[in-house]
């Protein structure tokens, strides 16, 4: 048993203390989740949907309190926190409203019998391992469809999110979810391997680092269970003409700096044609240099602190090494701000070596990178020159041309004249080093499910079906 504290990145101060579970408690947790599954899977679809609908209402009603939690935990500006909470309530409400449609039996051609159909049935207890950057949204994306389906959930959240992680369980139970159907556990990453391997866990979903994803996938595979991974991203943002360049850059900057740049699907690589490269760099250098950095409750702040002092220091060090090694030119910002808390200057990088650390690996912070392409073909090549494949976007006045370019990108999600859009009714997920599997929309109930085939044969047809 060990204690850990909420480390407020706005102040650099330790606040409340929490206690992690011991390894000996694992059996009790999994026994409780397994026992709860027997009843929850037998609960009617209407009852499950009602819990999700009421959960959505509670997120709306408690928005101020919930926003304060994540502001203190990981520094999210209050307006961003409330926007996240709005998306969360939309997710729970969407699954409630579409419950019967999503779980309806799929009728197949009878194929020689009275009736053939597939029914979506739950698998059992699932393990969720979630990150700190969107503490409520990441949970909802996993929990809402699987609770609707009838699975039970054991949720290990990031250690920096003790308040919001417990709130996720508390709100569900206040909405009517039976005890032990959703269990928030304070645990360390090193304890997860035994959870994943345990035969009571039927599947695992992780959003987080590539290293953690690889470890989870390995153990899950060795134990014959499914995993869904949402890992990093190095998303390209291609601008293929300058007809509306000022408007496009006005879109790019807040999208890149949203959540202080700590979003997997943020546009990490701005790729523009050489004809308007200088204008792009000059505009962004000025705008980024004017961004105001402040605490989560500072209404005038454009960006907040990083999630932790360690995270801030890591990015500052990487930028300094890139500058020293000639791997990038830091046009503005990039330094630690001399105040308590995890603050840094938002930065702009140009002349980046695509094969260097800052070129090919995700920078999870308020750092914009601009690349120059001689033409659209080179822009496409640069966009696809990455082992990641989460999302991408193409920006241009000619929608047909922009759509043609979008069709040549190799990511899990590609947008035209928008980026990083997430809605309950849209699938979310990537390829390559960005992971595998999909969440949200109908795909959200399609990952941890038994697509159970039923064939009903009248006695008059007995013996007519081929048997292998």
Residue length, the chain?
A: 468
Cβ neighbours for 227, distance < 8 A, ≥ 6 positions apart: 203, 204, 205, 206, 216, 217, 220, 221, 437
CA atoms of 455 and 53, how far apart (whole Å)? 34
pLDDT of residue 458: 87
pLDDT of residue 466: 61
Count Cβ atoms below 10 Å from residue 337 Cβ, excluding itself: 15
Query: Does the annotation mark 47 as catalytic?
Result: no
CA atoms of 259 and 262, how far apart (whole Å)? 5
**Structure tokens belonging to residue 386:** 């990455």
pLDDT of residue 175: 98
Q: Which of 73, 230, 439, 447 is catalytic?
A: 230
**What is the mean pLDDT, run by run of 10 residues, along the chain of 468 residues?**
92 96 96 98 98 98 98 98 98 98 97 95 98 98 98 98 98 98 97 97 96 96 97 96 97 98 96 98 98 98 98 98 96 97 98 93 96 98 96 98 98 97 97 97 98 91 59
CB-based contacts of 452-456 (< 8 A; 24+ apart in sequence): 452/118, 452/119, 452/120, 452/121, 453/116, 453/117, 453/118, 454/115, 454/116, 454/117, 454/118, 454/119, 455/113, 455/115, 455/116, 456/113, 456/114, 456/115, 456/116
Q: First CA to last CA across the chain, in angstroms?
A: 54
CA atoms of 110 and 145, how far apart (whole Å)? 29
List the chain domain ranges: 3-232+429-454, 235-387+391-416
Among residues 106, 105, 193, 185, the alpha carbon closest in space to that of 139 is found at: 185
pLDDT of residue 103: 98
Chain centroid offset of residue 349 CA:
25
Count Cβ atoms below 10 Å from residue 254 Cβ, excluding itself: 12
pLDDT of residue 145: 98
Q: Does domain 3-232+429-454 have CATH number 2.60.120.10?
A: no
Architecture of domain 235-387+391-416: 3-Layer(aba) Sandwich (3.40)
């Amino acid at each position: 048993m060990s204690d850990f504290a909420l480390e407020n990145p706005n102040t650099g101060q330790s606040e409340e203390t929490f206690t992690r579970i011991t390894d000996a408690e694992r059996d009790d947790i999994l026994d409780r989740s397994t026992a709860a599954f027997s009843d929850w899977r037998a609960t009617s679809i209407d009852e499950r949907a009602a819990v999700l609908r009421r959960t959505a209402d509670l997120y709306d009603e408690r928005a101020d309190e919930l926003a304060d939690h994540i502001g203190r935990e990981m520094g999210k500006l209050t307006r961003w926190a409330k926007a996240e909470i709005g998306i969360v309530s939309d997710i729970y409400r969407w699954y409630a409203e579409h419950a019967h449609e999503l779980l309806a039996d799929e009728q197949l051609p009878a194929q020689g019998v009275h009736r053939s159909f597939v029914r979506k049935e739950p698998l059992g207890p699932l393990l969720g391992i979630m990150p700190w950057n969107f503490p409520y949204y990441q949970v909802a994306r996993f929990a809402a469809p699987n609770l609707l389906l009838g699975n039970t959930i054991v949720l290990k959240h990031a250690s920096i999110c003790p308040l919001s992680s417990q709130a996720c369980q508390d709100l569900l139970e206040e909405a009517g979810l039976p005890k032990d159907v959703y269990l928030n556990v304070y645990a360390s990453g090193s304890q997860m391997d035994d959870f994943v391997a345990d035969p009571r866990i039927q599947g695992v979903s992780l959003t987080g680092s590539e290293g953690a994803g690889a470890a989870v996938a390995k153990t899950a595979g060795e134990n014959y269970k499914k995993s869904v991974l949402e890992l990093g991203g190095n998303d390209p943002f291609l601008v293929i003409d300058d007809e509306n360049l000022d408007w496009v850059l006005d879109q790019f900057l807040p999208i890149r700096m949203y959540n202080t740049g700590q979003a997997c699907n943020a546009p990490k690589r701005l790729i523009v044609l050489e004809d308007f490269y200088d204008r792009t760099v000059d505009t962004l250098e000025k705008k980024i240099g004017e961004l105001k950095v402040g605490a989560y409750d500072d209404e005038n702040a454009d960006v907040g602190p990083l999630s932790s002092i360690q995270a801030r220091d890591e990015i500052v060090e990487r930028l300094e090494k890139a500058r020293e090694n000639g791997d990038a030119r830091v046009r503005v910002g990039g330094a630690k701000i001399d105040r308590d808390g995890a603050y840094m200057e938002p930065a702009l990088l140009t002349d980046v070596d695509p094969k260097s650390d800052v070129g090919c690996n995700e920078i999870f912070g308020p750092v914009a990178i601009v690349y120059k392409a001689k033409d659209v073909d080179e822009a496409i090549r640069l966009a696809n020159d990455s082992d990641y494949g989460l999302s991408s976007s193409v920006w241009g006045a000619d929608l047909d041309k922009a759509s043609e370019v979008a069709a040549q990108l190799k990511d899990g999600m590609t947008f035209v004249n928008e980026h990083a859009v997430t809605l309950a009714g849209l699938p979310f997920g990537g390829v390559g080093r960005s992971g595998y599997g999909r969440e949200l929309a109908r795909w959200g109930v399609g990952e941890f499910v038994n697509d159970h085939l039923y064939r009903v044969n009248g006695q008059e047809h007995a013996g007519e079906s081929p048997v292998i």
